[in-house]
Structures are given as C-alpha cells and as structure tokens.
Chains A and B, each alone.
Chain A
Amino acid sequence: MAEVWRPPRRLVWRIGEVVETRHATPRTKSLLLDVPGWEGHKAGQHVDVRLTAEDGYQAQRSYSIASAPEERGVELVVERLDDGEVSPYLTDELRTGDSLELRGPIGGWFVWEAKDGGPLFLVAGGSGIAPLMAMIRHRAVMAMIRHRAAAGSEAPSRLLYSSRSREDIIFADELDHLAASDGSLEVVHTLTRSQPPGWTGYARRIDDEMLAEVAPSPEQRPLVFVCGPTPLVESVATTLVGLGHDAGRIKTERFGPTGG
C-alpha cells in the first residue's frame, strides 16, 4: 500500500511558556517549555527559536529537543556562547513565566524511534547530548511500557559522552540513574580537561583506540548517532567507518559555536 500523500503544512510559530529553567552545568541551561498546540516530536529533532526585540528586530537559532516524545513539554539545552546573540539571552535573561517563540519539530533524519530497533551507539560531545538524551529517555519510557506488558527487552544501547570535567556533564545524575536501573543501557564518560580525584574512567578526547574499545562491533550493525562539535563528529564518524561500520547507519549532527 502506498502511503497517502499529505500536502506539507507550514510549521507555525508558537508561543511557549518557560515553566522551569535549570542550571544543567556551569555553561549550559535547560529550559522546560509548555507549548500550547505542540503536536509532538521524535527523539532527535530540533526547534527554531526566534527572539524579537520591542522594535521588531529578530534573531533565530536552532536548539535540539532533549525531552522524550512521551514527556509533557519541550526541553531545550542551551550552551552559553560568550559572544553569542541568542544563547546569553536564553541562559541569563529568560525566567520562569517568560514567553518564548519557537517552531518545530524540524528534521527527519537524525531521529530514532523505538521501532527502529538497535543496538544503539550514541556518541556525544558537550551539549551534543541533547538530541541523544531524547533518544535515551524515549527508550526508557518504551522499556517501562513494554515491561509492564511483559514483552521483550529493549535494544541494547551504549552512550559514549565526552565532557570537559565532571561538572560539565549535562544530565549526569539522570544518566547515572538510568544506567543503574537498566542493564541494557551503558554510559561511558570521558573527561577531557580535568578529572575528579579517584577518576578511573577515560581522561582524553575520544580517539580511535577508545572507539575500538567502546563501540559495539560492526557485526552487531549498531545504529550510530553522533552529535557534538564538528571536529569530534568528523573524527568519530571517520574512525567508525574505518573500523568497518556501515556509513549508511551512522547519522551525524553538529553542535558548534557558529555564532549562536
């Protein structure tokens, strides 16, 4: 059966209300928005945010959604770029109760739904965790639903997450908790700049050797999602292809200080 073709509908600008802002790390903030009329999203998608000054001047940027499709509201992770125009407003000025204009969800490629299966291999650098967190949360919700229905197990998943220091790990507690309560989710951290006393994990940028150790074998045909700054994404994707992973199963997304 051919799918019924539906004419594209315009993604309208909606006004969301900030219901919570959280200091995710010293350099990032997470914003939880209630967006009336929001029609849902898939894990991995992003939104466009538009700021308007009183005289009509506008600026737009894109931010990935970190919340699972099943959660109420839309959570965005914003990394503060010191010379940025939009991100310092979002991290420093925006408060609970403020309105924020956005439209989405956008992007149909860098997405994962539980029905896509696995195993999943997720690689994040810094705030690149945001769309991958949506996938991890989506996976956790689906696992809960399935276990309640006494059905099979979830796609095994592994996250390799590069942060500067322990305090820069976004969603650190939640990731610890999820990994502790779910035997099929493994979280591997690497801390590139400073490590707390007694740190036994990786303490360098993601490199070929680390990927060879952490990535599932190519024979397992993992679905790979890589999100972070361009140099990390370029080198991880290239290395994985070199290790024998199918380039067609590696999806990439960039998070970069490109002026945001």
Chain B
Amino acid sequence: MSFFSRGFRGRRRQTDDRLPPGQYLVEGFPVLSAGPTPRTPLEEWDFSVGGEVDEPKRWTWDEFRALPSEEITRDIHCVTKWSKLSTRWEGVSVDTLLEGVQTAAEYMLAFCDGGYTTNLPLEDVTGGRAWIAYSFDGEPLQPEHGGPARLLVPHLYFWKSAKWVRGLRLLTHDEPGFWESLGYHNYGDPWREQRYWGD
C-alpha cells in the first residue's frame, strides 16, 4: 500500500520541529507575486479600515508610522514549500488599528495595490496574531517583498500576508480573496497542510 520513491533517501537537512509538513528550510527570502511590483509613492500611500465598521479610519504614511509599533520575530511558511525561521519584522499590530472600532464583522478582506486581496477570519488578525509590517531584518521593507508595508500573519501560509497592503475591509460574511478564488485553501493553516481547495 505505502508508496516510496525508488532510490530516494533525502537530505534530511530539515529535521526542525518548527517545520510544518511538506516544507523545507531556506536561508534566502524567495520572492513570489502574481504581477508587476506596484510602486506607490509614500505621499500617496494611505491605510484604511472600512466595511462593517461604525466609523471608517484612515492613516497617511506619516500618521501610520507614528502609531505604536512592535518588533516581531516569527517563522514564516510559504505554500510553495519553503519556510524561513525566526524572521524579524517591525510593524503595527492590527489590534492597534482596530482599537475603538465597533463592528459586527467576523471576517475581513485585506486589499492591496495591484488589486490583490486575501480573506481572513477576524479572530486570526486580532489578539496579537497579525501586523502591518514596514520593516524586515532592521531595514525598510523592499518593494519586491511587499514594501512599503505588508500584512504579516505568520501563523498562516504566507500568501495571507498580503504584500503592498492598503487596507482592511471588515465583513459580516466570508469572501474569498485572490488566491483563495484560484484554487488555494480558504484558511491556509500550514500545520494542517491546507494548501489547496479541499485540503
């Protein structure tokens, strides 16, 4: 019954128990995106929280950068199989952005420059589990890695950590985002290997 690949032994260089099933470790930081890298000047950049909220909120870049920030060190896991351990970020907690917001929403859709979206249950981006990150490894976040700012939700596959994020739309219903509409799992828990539809 059990299948094995004739002659395959494997390198076993990744025996780390921080590695979810089907993942391998990388030292570099691979870039993946569906289209050209957007380049929005900071003076045109803003971040908004809208949708099912009592009052929409909006920050300019300067206002956003003046918000309390946190240093975050987490493992990240890409659905294309690479994982990177102990990545260092700096950013604003989504809790900070949602402070004082009255909402009946249970879901949210993050939207981005370039038209990319991703959906998440609200409880997965609150309680210290998600940030809007603007710095990686002590440096400003590079455009190809999502700069000036990206969503960071390290406990889910990394496509949920949307690059070039510009806002969160709070929703009472779940609405599949970009990859979630194109065959990728709606939730994306790497520890349950939820890569694709039906996983």
Contacts and interface: CB of A to CB of B under 8 A. Distances in A.
**Chain B contact patch, size range:** 35 or more
B37 A237 contact: yes
Contact of A106 (B25, B28, B183): B183
B33 interface: yes
Interface in B160-199: 178-179, 181-183, 195-199
B36 A238 contact: yes
Contacts of B10: 51, 53, 57-59, 85
A112 B179 CA distance: 17
Given A107-B183, A251-B34, A230 B5 contact: no
A241 B26 contact: no
Contacts of B197: 8-11
B199 to A, nearest CB: 6
Contact of A250 (B2, B11, B26, B36): B36
Given A248-B115, A254-B31, A259-B25, A61 B7 contact: no
A1 to B, nearest CB: 19
Interface in B1-25: 2-13, 22, 24-25
Interface string B129-147: 0000000000000001000
B150 to A, nearest CB: 16
Contacts of B26: 258-259
Interface of A: 7-11, 15, 48, 50-54, 56-62, 85, 89, 93, 98-101, 106-110, 230, 234, 237-238, 240-241, 247-248, 250-252, 254, 256, 258-259
Interface of B: 2-13, 22, 24-26, 28, 30-38, 80-82, 114-115, 144, 178-179, 181-183, 195-199
Shortest beta-carbon contacts, A-B, top 10: A8-B197, A108-B182, A10-B198, A237-B36, A258-B30, A85-B11, A8-B198, A51-B5, A230-B31, A60-B22
